[in-house]
Structure 1
Amino acid sequence: MMKRAKKIEFRVTHTEYFIIQNKALKSGNSISEFLRNTALDYPLTYKLTEDEILAYRQLSQYADNFRRIGNLFKLGDTTGVKEACIETTKLIRNHLNKLK
């Protein structure tokens, strides 16, 4: 990647500054990254928060559990299906209780 050596400055109102700053924060980028990506029509990269990363990990765990349940159905293991469903249900309920 080439070194960024040139600097561009422009004036904005107080309100415009806060709007730009807010949009940059929401996208997880610095103001410079946000303005550069917007001006050059680059896709805005979104940086996940720690809470969002945790939520995706939990969803991945649920997906694994449901995949196992599907495999048990294919094998005809109804006892295993019941146990896996109960385990997955408890896991989901525990995480939902944290939101209360």
Structure 2
Amino acid sequence: MAKLKGRPPKERKQEKFVGFFVTKVQYFVIQQKAAKAGVNISDYMRQAAVNAQVKMKWTEEERGMVKQLIGMAGDIHRMVEVAEREGATQAALLFVSHRGVMDSIINTLCHDR
């Protein structure tokens, strides 16, 4: 009887297929990163999917904080106008009233990101 030829079976069989679409630019970037890592695209994507950390989207509370910061942009603009009209001292007093709120919101949004 003849001996079977061919590639030996893999140690660990890949059982599930996960596919997704990417743009040509994304594919090129993935291809370059895989080549730099010295692996093929499948191995690169498998390692990236298993080992990567995914950043969570902002919660409703965090989105509210961003909206609050955006709302403060108008106040900052008003501070500039006050500084031009009445001097930097008045503008500094207005800024002090918003500084603590802005700092706490920014620190909350930037924590663990």
User: TM (normalized to structure 1)?
Assistant: 0.42
Greater RCO (CA < 8 Å, at least 6 residues apart)? 2
TM-score by length of 2: 0.38
When Rg is computed on C-alpha atoms for both structures, the one with the higher figure is 2
